[in-house]
Amino acid sequence: MFGLVIIATVVWVWLHPSSARIYLFIAAAAIAALSLWWGLAPQFWTNLMDENGPVIPVAAIMVSIPLLMWGWHTKSSARSAGILLVIVASAPILGVAVSPPDVARGVLTAVAIMTEPYVIGGILYILSSLNAKATSQ
């Protein structure tokens, strides 16, 4: 099911990047808000994720993949995509990092392993957009 949602969103980003842009910004804001909520109410989210799996990290990945496509397909949006990728992929890590130690133990590493590659991709997009600006001047 999640794979179909990701594929459909990637196709949408590829065919209509300007209309998908609004969705990507809203989705990034939602992931950041959920991660903040995770940091503020860790016990609620721990109970929820014990029953349903890693909801927030999986949602972050589901948003990160279309963001990667957007930054790659629309070169002028690489910097925006990079910034959003860093926010989306770092937010779950920060959310669990501010949780009490008994909640965060073991979870922080797992969340970082799931989302850190997207942080690196976002940083690379930002650096490539800065490099492109420097060479065009």
Q: pTM score, two decimals?
A: 0.86
Least confident of 53-62, 76-85, 94-103, 113-122: 94-103
Encode pLDDT of 24-80 as tens digits: 999 999 999 999 998 888 888 888 888 998 899 999 999 999 999 999 988 788 999
Alpha-carbon distance of 67 to 117, in angstroms, equals 13
Per-residue confidence (pLDDT) for residue 130, from 0 to 100: 85
Within a domain: residue 27? yes
Per-residue confidence (pLDDT) for residue 30, from 0 to 100: 95
pLDDT at 100 over 90: no
Within a domain: residue 137? no
Instruction: Please report the DSSP string for 90-125 in residue order.
Output: HHHHHHHHTS-HHHHTTHHHHHHHHHHHHHHHHHHH
Instruction: Judge contact between 64 and 28, C-beta under 8 A.
Output: no
Per-residue confidence (pLDDT) for residue 42, from 0 to 100: 84
Total domains present in the chain = 1
Domain that holds residue 39: 2-130
Within a domain: residue 136? no
Whole-angstrom CA distances from 13 to 36, 47, 60, 77, 80 are: 27, 34, 17, 12, 14
Question: Percent of the chain scored above 70 by pLDDT?
Answer: 95
First to last CA, the chain: 46
pLDDT at 137 over 70: no
Residues in the chain: 137
Within a domain: residue 35? yes
